[in-house]
Amino acid sequence: MLPEVANIRIMNLSRHEDIKLSIFLLMKKAILFTLGLFSALSLSAETVTYDIDPAHSGVNFAVRHFVNDVNGSFGEFDGTVTVDTADMTKSSTKATIKTKSVDTNNGKRDGHLQTDDYFAVAKFPEMTFESTKWEKVSGDTYKVTGNLTILGVTKPVTMDVDFLGKVDGTGHYSGMEIIGFKGGTKIKRSEWGLDAGGPIVGDDVEISVSVQGHRKK
């Protein structure tokens, strides 16, 4: 073999190896960059769970009686709100409400509401809500869809919910993180079997909730 030809082949092999090395280094950089990106995203996204604080939250309702609204609330409830800080649409919530805690500021009426005519608290001591979907509307406003169970009947409802913010607690809540929401919806009580009262009591029930949740930092 002529020396010139041999040198050309050696040069070609060397260039080929250089190209392979360059490609390998580029792939290595790309892989490291991708891993770093995923690592950064995982660090910035955090799913945290807050316990609902009943002392600073509320479950309220209003229903028509003849031509005026009667307002009421439930005083005993608990639950959690799990929030994805990077994407609120991945959040979730669930709550349990004690039906015997119904309060309309009238003892006689509250006693009637606890009977089988209405909430049948002996048979159904709890009603529950568990979200299935959070949809962003705009800004800090969301539509939260979930399953509402009353008298053993489960049906989907959608609530308009506003995210009120997140702060660090002070005083009694020092060392805790506080989060807040408020929302509301309207349901037809007859769809859950709450159909007593005939024409005297309206079928539409306005529900409003305010939620303050907290967690240890």
pLDDT at res. 37: 43
pLDDT at res. 17: 60
Name residues whose C-beta falls within 8 Å of residue 54's C-beta, 6 or more positions apart in sequence: 75, 76, 77, 78
Q: What is the pLDDT of residues 88-102, one digit of tens each?
A: 999 999 999 999 999
pLDDT band at 40 (very low <50, low <70, confident <90, very high): very low
Comparison of pLDDT for 7 and 154, the residue scoring more: 154
Question: pTM of the entire structure?
Answer: 0.79
Sequence-ordered alpha helix ranges (H) in the chain? 3-44, 107-113
For residues 78 and 96, the answer to whether their CB atoms sit within 8 Å is yes
**Mean pLDDT to the nearest integer, 21-33:** 55
pLDDT band at 43 (very low <50, low <70, confident <90, very high): very low
Distance CA 62, CA 184 (A): 11
Distance CA 202, CA 163 (A): 30
- Choose which CATH entry (3.40.630.30, 2.40.128.110, 3.40.50.170, 3.30.110.40) describes domain 46-216: 2.40.128.110
For residues 111 and 96, the answer to whether their CB atoms sit within 8 Å is no
Which residues on neighbouring strands pair with residue 96, listed in sequence order? 78, 128
